[in-house]
Chains A and B, each alone.
Chain A
Amino acid sequence: MPPEPTDAVKQGAATPAAAGGTPRPVEPGSRAGGRARALLHGLGPLLGLIVLCIAGTVLNGDFATLDNVMNVLTRTAFIGIIAVGMCFVIISGGIDLSVGSMAALIAGAMILVMNRLAPSLGSPTSVIALGIGIALLLGALFGLAHGLLITRGGIEPFIVTLGTLGIFRAYLTYFADGGALTLDMELSDAYSPVYYANLLGIPIPVWVFLAVALVGGLILNRTAYGRYVQAIGSNEQVARYAAVDVNRIKVLTYMLLGICVGIATVLYVPRLGSASPTTGLLWELEAIAAVIVGGTALKGGSGTITGTVVGAVLLSVISNILNLTSIISVYLNSAVQGFVIIGVAFMQRRRK
C-alpha cells in the first residue's frame, strides 16, 4: 500500500503534474472547500488555545495577568524546546521515547562536572559556560548514538529509545546514589539568572524558546535538509530513489533533538539547581503530545513548528487553569488534560 502523500511533500516538491493529478482523494469539485478545511485543520490547535484562554479568563481574572502568562510560557519552554526537536524526528517518521531520561541524565552530568570543576576553574562564569557546553555536547552525542543505532544498527526507533530511556535514568540514579544531585550554592546563585532573569520584561527561557522555534521553522521550511526530513517521513523509498542520503538525514534529526534536549536542560538546571531520579519524568509523552496536538501526523511526513509551539503552550495552559480554579475535583486533573488532547486532535483530524 503506497503511503498517502501529504501537504508538506506537495509544497516541498510541487510540480505542475502533481498539482494536476492530485494523488489525494478529494471530493469532486471541492478544491476551495478542501482548502478551507485544510486551513481549519491548521487552525485547530490555535482555536483550542483561544477557547481555553477565554475560559481561563472567565474562571479566574488573574489568568490573563502578565505575570501568569509569563509563568506559563516560561514553564512551557522546556517541553516546547524539546517538542521542536521532537517535531523533526516525528516528521521524519521516527520517535524518541528517551528525552525525559536524557534531560535528567544531562542535568545530573552537568551538575556533577560543574561541582567537581568549580574549585579549580575559579570564576563561576567559566564553570557555567563549561556546563552549558557539556549539556549541548552530551545531547548531540546521545542523539548521534540513537541515530547510528537506528540507521546502521537497523533497530526500530521505538526500541532503541525505549532501551536508552531505561539506561539514561538508571545512570542518573546511580550517580545520585538514589537521592538528588544538587548544584553548589555559589554556582547555583550565579547560574540562576539564566532561568529567572528578564530581558525587556520577558524571561530568558521564553526568549530561548522563541529562538529555537524560529530556527526550527527556518530549518524545516527553508532548507534542503528540512525538505529531505519531510520527504523521508512521507515515503522513505521514494526519497532513497531521489538520491537523498536517508541515513545521514535521520542521524541529523536525532542529533538535532538531542541538542534541543541539551538546551532545555541548560534552562532547567538553574530553576531548582538539582537533578533527581524524578527529573523529567514523562517529558517524552508531553513533548510527543505537544507535537501531535500541534497537527503533526504520528506516522510522519508533515507537520509544522508553529503547530508544535501552540500545542506545547496549550498543554501547559490546561494545567495552569486547573490550578487556578477549583471547580473540578483534583482527582480529575489528568482526565481533563486527556479530554482536551483528544478534543483538539479531533478538531484537526485528517480526511481519509
Chain B
Amino acid sequence: MKSVLRKLALGASAMAALLTASGALAQTQNQVNMGVAIPAATHGFTGGIVWWANQAKKDLEKAHPGLKITVKTAANAPEQANQLQDLLTVNKINTLVIFPFESASLTKPVAQAKGKGVYVTVVDRGLTDTSAQDAYVAGDNTAFGRIAAEYLAKKLNGKGNIVALRGIPTTLDNERMDAFNAVLKNYPDIKLLDARYGNWNRDDAFKVMQDYLTRFKQIDAVWAADDDMAVGVLKAIEQAKRTDIKEVFGGAGAKGMVKTIMEGKNKLIQADVSYSPKFIYDAIKLTAEARLKGEKLPPNTIIPSVLITKENAKDFYFPDSPF
C-alpha cells in the first residue's frame, strides 16, 4: 500500500513537472485497465509485435500509475476470441487494443466487448465491420509499395527491368502491389518483368529468385517487398554470380537489414521502407494516453511508412528487438 502511494506520488510529481497541476490531477483520476490481444510469435514480424507490446507495458505502466496492461498472445483466431472473453470477465478490462488474428472471425467478439462499454483500438489487420471499433491504427501499406517504386524508379533513372516478389495472397499484399504498379505507370521505360509469390519467406524467395535469374538475362533491380525475402534474393543472386542487378529493395525495416544499410555493408542494399511492428507500441501508447485523459483517438491513425537510407537508419535500429 505504501509503495503504491509512493509510486502515485512519484508519478504525480513527475507529471506536474511537465504539465499543469490540474492536468496531472485529471490524469490520475482516470483508471485504465487495458487488455492487449495479439498473435503469438510465429515468425519474425509477429515476434516483433510481441516484443514491442511487452515493451509498451513496461514503459507505460512505469510512466502512468493509473494504468494496468494485460498482454495476451494467441496462436489462432478461436484462441484469441477465448482470450477476449477472459480479458472481459476475469481481468475486467475497460480498454482493449487488439491486433486481430483474422479480420472476419474476430469482428463479432470485438463488437461484443465494445457493447459492454470497452474502448476498442484495432491495429493493422482490420475488422470486417468497422462499427465494432472506436479507433484503428495501422501501418501504411500504400506507402510501402509507393515508396519502393519511387525509390527504384529514381535509382534506375526511369529506365530498366524490375522483378518483384509478393507476400502471401492477401488484401494487404494487393494494396502494396497496386501502389507499386501505380507509380510505375509514370515510367513507361521501366518494365516490371514479373511478380511472383515468395510468401514472405526466405526459402520461397530464394527459389523464385533463382527462377527469375534463369528466365531473365537482364534484371536491373529487385523489389523483394520484405526483408526476409530480400535475404533469400541476395543469396540467389550471389550464387548465380550475376552482376546486372544494381539494387535489391526489401521492406519492413528488420534490424539486420537496417544495420546493413547503416554500415553500408552490401552495395545492393541501399534503402528500405519502414513497416515496423513498433506500431503496436504506438497504438498502445496513443490509446493509453488518450484514455487516461478521458479523450478519444481519431477514428483512423496511419503510422507512416518512411524511406530508410544510410542517413536516417540509426533512428530505425532497435538492437534489442527480435525483429
Contact = CB atoms under 8 A, between A and B. Distances in A.
Given A178-B41, A319-B207, A60 B215 contact: yes
A279 interface: yes
B10 to A, nearest CB: 32
Contact of A68 (B48, B203, B214, B231): B214
Nearest to A319: B207
B11 interface: no
A276 B202 contact: yes
A277 interface: yes
A271 B42 contact: no
A249 B73 CA distance: 42
Nearest to A203: B239
Interface string A259-303: 000000000000110101111010000000000000000000000
A67 B242 CA distance: 13
Contacts of A4: none
A57 interface: no
B275 interface: no
Contacts of B124: none
Task: Give the interface residue-count category, chain A.
Answer: 20 to 34
Given A271-B235, A281-B201, A323-B207, A178 B215 contact: no
Interface residues of B, number: 38
A75 B231 contact: no
Contact of A178 (B46, B201, B206, B211): B46
Contact of B206 (A169, A271, A330): A271
A60 B211 CA distance: 11
Contacts of B43: 178, 276-278
A331 interface: yes
B322 A326 contact: no
Contacts of A319: 207
B214 A67 contact: yes
Contacts of A196: 239
B264 interface: no
A62 B41 contact: no
A196 B200 CA distance: 23
17 contacts: A176-B322, A177-B41, A177-B47, A177-B322, A178-B46, A274-B202, A277-B41, A277-B44, A320-B207, A323-B196, A323-B212, A323-B215, A324-B215, A330-B169, A330-B196, A330-B197, A331-B169
Interface of B: 40-44, 46-48, 50-51, 166, 169, 194-197, 200-203, 206-208, 210-212, 214-215, 228, 231-232, 235, 239-240, 256, 321-323
**A-B interface, 5 closest residue pairs, ranked by CB to CB distance from nearest:** A178-B47, A178-B41, A179-B322, A323-B211, A177-B322
Interface of A: 60, 62, 65, 67-68, 71, 75, 169, 173, 176-180, 182, 196, 271-272, 274, 276-279, 281, 319-320, 323-324, 326, 330-331, 333
